Chains A and B, each alone.
Chain A
């Protein structure tokens, strides 16, 4: 079993839909990161959070430390949101290495 699990693996949506991607982890963490990877391969950091909720534009990230669970929400989805969304956790040790989930592939159709 992976230490970081994401669901769903693939997600298709119609433009305008509300989207939720989930991440569960089984290790102690320093913080949880949500990343976005476009088809070209580059990765952009969306959020880093260790408690509560953060919002940036149409993106919202929440984390429940007790349940070891985080969600990434996209409101009013748009085709340009199509990408792979990756959850990663800092392992909380001295080196704080990142442990990655396998990602959720999102396609938003017009």
Chain B
């Protein structure tokens, strides 16, 4: 059973607010990822980390930022939310390159 958790599951927030989406895992995996998924569309990588103090931008440009201070946590922050940020955000981990990916339940964000 995968142990990766995202909070909150659903969030409705006003334009201009700062928000942080949490992702935690108890598997000790070094590799963590954030994906953005619009309804009916494929997942796009927006950030990834290969370990503590390592973060990289993904293939899809995003105004969000991430941090990796501890192995277990990989939070994603939007400094000033906009309606264009409305989407589902999925966090994932992998033990190492070439292995199975484990996904969280996702955070469905709506910015009004």
Contacts and interface: CB of A to CB of B under 8 A. Distances in A.
A100 interface: yes
B103 interface: yes
Interface in A62-110: 86, 88, 90, 94-98, 100-103
Interface stretch (B12-20, B21-29, B40-48, B67-75): B40-48
B97 A102 contact: no
A40 B103 CA distance: 13
Contacts of A31: 98
Contacts of B106: 40-43
Nearest to A4: B42
B99 A41 contact: no
Contacts of B97: 30, 90, 94-96
Contacts of B48: 95, 97
Contacts, number: 59
Interface in A20-79: 30-31, 33, 35, 40-45, 48
A45 B103 contact: yes
Contacts of B98: 30-31, 90, 96
Contacts of B41: 102
Interface of B: 33, 40-45, 48, 58-59, 88, 90, 92, 97-106, 108
Given A40-B106, A95-B97, A103-B40, 19 more contacts: A31-B98, A33-B100, A35-B103, A40-B105, A41-B88, A41-B105, A43-B90, A44-B103, A45-B102, A45-B103, A48-B99, A88-B43, A90-B97, A90-B98, A97-B59, A98-B33, A98-B43, A102-B41, A102-B42
